[in-house]
Amino acid sequence: MSRLVPTRPRHRVAVLGALVALVLLFLSPTFGRADVSGQYRPELPPDGLTNGCYPLPGGVVPDFDYVLRHDGDTVDAHGIHRRVVLHFDRVDADEAISTITAQLTAAGVADDVTVRARDFPDVPDDAVVRGEMTLDLPSIGVQSDDPVCEDPNSTKRFTPDLLDRS
């Protein structure tokens, strides 16, 4: 004679499981979620040339729109020197070179800096980023004890393994 297994416990388990799922669904907005602020863009780190960590000689800040891409020391046949790479916006290479050279000259530090720039090829007329500038200048140590100076996203002083991705 075979015994029939009552189905009530399975039914209770299913009901209990559904009840637990509903409670978790109801409470889930309180678990690990950020408060709604209406701000959906992350805070950007401060500009690496104006945060006081590694300023350009003479405190010069380019007088055109730019994005700092990389700032760090390099070694070549001329020794250790600093290389700053930025993308310039809304100007061409000639204007960017002319502007920063005039600023460096006014600050009395033009002889310490080599400036190269190039326009990106085939850039549409309405594009913002127009080209790239490289500044070769004397190496300096960190100029501030602000904790932001330890953040490579702010200083753009990336470790070698991150340079290939920038």
Measured in degrees and rounded to the nearest 5, phi and psi for residue 57 equal -55, 140
**Confidence category of residue 4, pLDDT binned at 50, 70, 90:** low
Question: Would you state the structure tokens that stand for residue 34, as one six-digit string?
Answer: 């950020």
* Domain spans, the chain: 57-163
8 Å CB contact between 152 and 158: yes
Q: Does the pTM exceed 0.85?
A: no
**Segment 87-131, tens digit of pLDDT:** 999 999 999 999 999 999 999 999 999 999 999 999 998 999 999
Q: What is the pLDDT of residues 20-70, one digit of tens each?
A: 788 777 777 666 666 677 777 777 888 999 999 999 999 999 999 999 999
Q: Residue 70 and residue 158: Cα distance in Å, rounded?
A: 7
Return d(Cα 92, Cα 133) in angstroms, integer: 10
Check if the beta carbon of residue 142 is closer than 8 Å to that of residue 54: yes
Question: Considering the chain, what percentage of its residues have pLDDT values greater than 70?
Answer: 86
Are the C-beta atoms of residues 113 and 104 closer than 8 Å to each other? Answer: yes
